[in-house]
Structure 1
Amino acid sequence: MELKKQSEFYDTYWRGSKKYGSYKLKRISEIIKQLDFAKKHKKNPRILDLGCGDGRCCSIWHEIGDTTGIDLSQEAMKIAKKRYPFIEFSSGDATNTSFKDGSFDIIISQEVIEHIEVQSTYIDECKRLLSPNGILILTTPNKFYFDRRIGGNYSNQPIENILYPKELKKLLSKDFHILKFYSIIHPKGDKGIYRLINSKFIHYGFAALKANALKDYIQSRLNLGLHIITVAKKIT
């Protein structure tokens, strides 16, 4: 799909953006945890939010390290620059940016890769932009879950190319060492294994054992949640 058409879609999308709901807040909270983890590898990090939307999360990341944001939508960048004048923002193609090699220590990619047509090009750009041993924090919807949900993927953006966990791992494996890989948010699925784990028998069994946290942990490590979280270190 032409970038111009995508840009026009996202200009409209970000003009009508709403406050974050509980799922997005949980995802952001998880990214903050992983940023704290990444700081152990990179002191005083330079952070890039690659596909930052209207920039509202960049103000959070900026409390951890100097942050730059980029998005395809010029309208989103206008909003971001007005709200957060202390952060550098620019519009452009996330697969072909104008930043120099090794410009950033941490890249945050939040729900972006599934809207990229040639995903390997996006990962190549992440590698190019990261400093030696730089960290990529990436979140994306879990195709394993959505394939087992009546109605499937509820997003309706110009490109919807969601990945299975194993596909994402394969995509990253050439250039990155995966440090963490798990899922978050466990809504009710409708088919296959979700019918089992969401059955009343399993639900009340874990509740009786006061082990709901264990149930969440198992679902997380089996990658059954709605979003995949990965933290990966650039191979040098």
Structure 2
Amino acid sequence: MEIETEIQREYNPAHPNFERWQKARNLSDERAKFVESIVSELVFLSGLNVLDLGAGEGSTSQLLSKNNFVVSVEIKRERIIKIQLSDTLHPVLADCINVPLKNKSVDLIILQDVVEHINFSSDFIEKLFFLLKDNGLIFLSTPNKYSLLNLISDPHWGLPFISVLNRHKIKKYFLKYFRKADFNRSDIAELLSLNDIYTKFDKKFSIHLFTNYSVEYLLSGGKGLIWSNFHLSIVRLINSLGLKRVLLKIANDKPGFINKYLTPTFYVLLKKI
């Protein structure tokens, strides 16, 4: 079965990406706290119905379930079994498209590094829109297709220029020759641009970027946002050169040049309108 094959690959120390994946898992609790802090900027996180799509091993779901009711959806069995069922946390083995919930039943949807791995279609966004209550929120994080940093080192493969390729071309030109064992994966990442996000969401949601917030968090020693050796070395270089203040002046939450071509990962709150 393909899902089982992917799980074996994900937890296999011999896989070229194992170290990268393991670092991400080890930082999941810190990343959950970061997600909570951003969402808290727009909503009081208590008594909400939360849907965590592509929940992984459940760190964010576990944290949010302390004061909210959380449905944690994950397609991979090896991950979902690590999420403990409780009165306020219900793990569900399912994909992100076929969520077994009623319309207007959710206050907050978490999409944490998920949309690049699925068929991110208008139908999917429509489904999210109808699941949300009036004024409901989506937390979205996803790597930036056109970020200079990602062009130099793709966040999933650690190689240049792959970030701009679609899923079909990644398979055709890269996996076919260099990562044959990954060729049949169903979740190959196809990154989005800032224009993609605005085009897909702006008719149904108000869009709030959190670039300023995330840059300050990262350069102040916050953990959980990056784990590749390349990105970690960039942060160390910035701090060693005393460039933190300069970057904080440059960083902004506008849909302009900085966020289109420099920001490596988008952190966004989308409010239903």
The TM-score bracket by the shorter chain reads 0.7 to 0.9
Provide closer, same or farther for how the CA distance between residues 91 and 25 of structure 1 changes in structure 2, counting only shifts above 3 A. closer
Whether the aligned pair in 2 keeps the contact of 1:14 and 1:76 (CA below 8 Å) is no
Query: Residue in 2 aligned with 1:171?
Result: 200
Query: Residue in 1 aligned with 2:145?
Result: 143
User: For 1:39, which of 16, 37, 43 is the aligned residue?
Assistant: 43
Structure 2: 5+ residue stretches without partners = 13-20, 158-181, 220-225
Q: State the Cα distance separating 1:51 from its structure 2 match.
A: 0.9
Whether the aligned pair in 2 keeps the contact of 1:113 and 1:119 (CA below 8 Å) is no
Q: State the Cα distance separating 1:124 from its structure 2 match.
A: 1.9
Q: State the Cα distance separating 1:231 from its structure 2 match.
A: 0.4
1-side partners of 2:30 and 2:148: how far apart? 18
Matches within 5 A, 1:152-171: 152-155=154-157, 158-171=187-200
Query: Aligned pair 1:11/2:7, yes or no?
Result: yes
Whether the aligned pair in 2 keeps the contact of 1:14 and 1:54 (CA below 8 Å) is no
Provide closer, same or farther for how the CA distance between residues 15 and 55 of structure 1 changes in structure 2, counting only shifts above 3 A. farther
User: For 1:59, which of 62, 65, 75 is the aligned residue?
Assistant: 62
Aligned residues: 215
Query: Aligned pair 1:233/2:271, yes or no?
Result: yes
Query: Residue in 1 aligned with 2:34?
Result: 30
Q: State the Cα distance separating 1:37 from its structure 2 match.
A: 2.1
2-side partners of 1:99 and 1:176: how far apart? 20
Whether the aligned pair in 2 keeps the contact of 1:138 and 1:231 (CA below 8 Å) is yes
Q: State the Cα distance separating 1:121 from its structure 2 match.
A: 2.9
Q: State the Cα distance separating 1:181 from its structure 2 match.
A: 4.7
Say which SS state the counterpart of residue 32 (structure 1) adopts: helix
Q: Please tell me the root mean square deviation across aligned C-alpha atoms, in Å.
A: 3.5
Q: State the Cα distance separating 1:165 from its structure 2 match.
A: 1.3
2-side partners of 1:67 and 1:180: how far apart? 24
1-side partners of 2:249 and 2:4: how far apart? 40
Whether the aligned pair in 2 keeps the contact of 1:53 and 1:77 (CA below 8 Å) is yes
Q: State the Cα distance separating 1:179 from its structure 2 match.
A: 3.1
TM-score (norm. length: structure 1): 0.74
Cα deviation code 1:115-163 (max 9, x no counterpart): 0124333322221211111011110111122675334343476321111
Moved more, 119-128 or 148-157: 148-157
Query: Aligned pair 1:49/2:45, yes or no?
Result: no
Structure 1: 5+ residue stretches without partners = 191-196
Whichever structure has more strand as a proportion of its residues is 1
Say which SS state the counterpart of residue 251 (structure 2) adopts: helix
2-side partners of 1:225 and 1:24: how far apart? 21
2-side partners of 1:25 and 1:219: how far apart? 26
User: For 1:213, which of 245, 248, 265 is the aligned residue?
Assistant: 245
Matching residue's letter, 2:134? P
Cα deviation code 1:87-121 (max 9, x no counterpart): 20101120121111112101111000000124333
Moved more, 158-167 or 15-24: 15-24
2-side partners of 1:135 and 1:32: how far apart? 13
Query: Residue in 2 aligned with 1:194?
Result: none
Say which SS state the counterpart of residue 166 (structure 1) adopts: helix
Cα deviation code 1:27-56 (max 9, x no counterpart): 43431112212324x762111111101212
2-side partners of 1:99 and 1:37: how far apart? 26
Whether the aligned pair in 1 keeps the contact of 2:110 and 2:139 (CA below 8 Å) is yes
Query: Residue in 2 aligned with 1:120?
Result: 122
Structure 1's consecutive aligned runs of 4 or more residues displaced over 4 angstroms after TM superposition are 13-17, 19-27, 183-188
Whether the aligned pair in 1 keeps the contact of 2:50 and 2:71 (CA below 8 Å) is yes
Matching residue's letter, 1:177? S
Percent identity reads 23
Say which SS state the counterpart of residue 53 (structure 1) adopts: coil
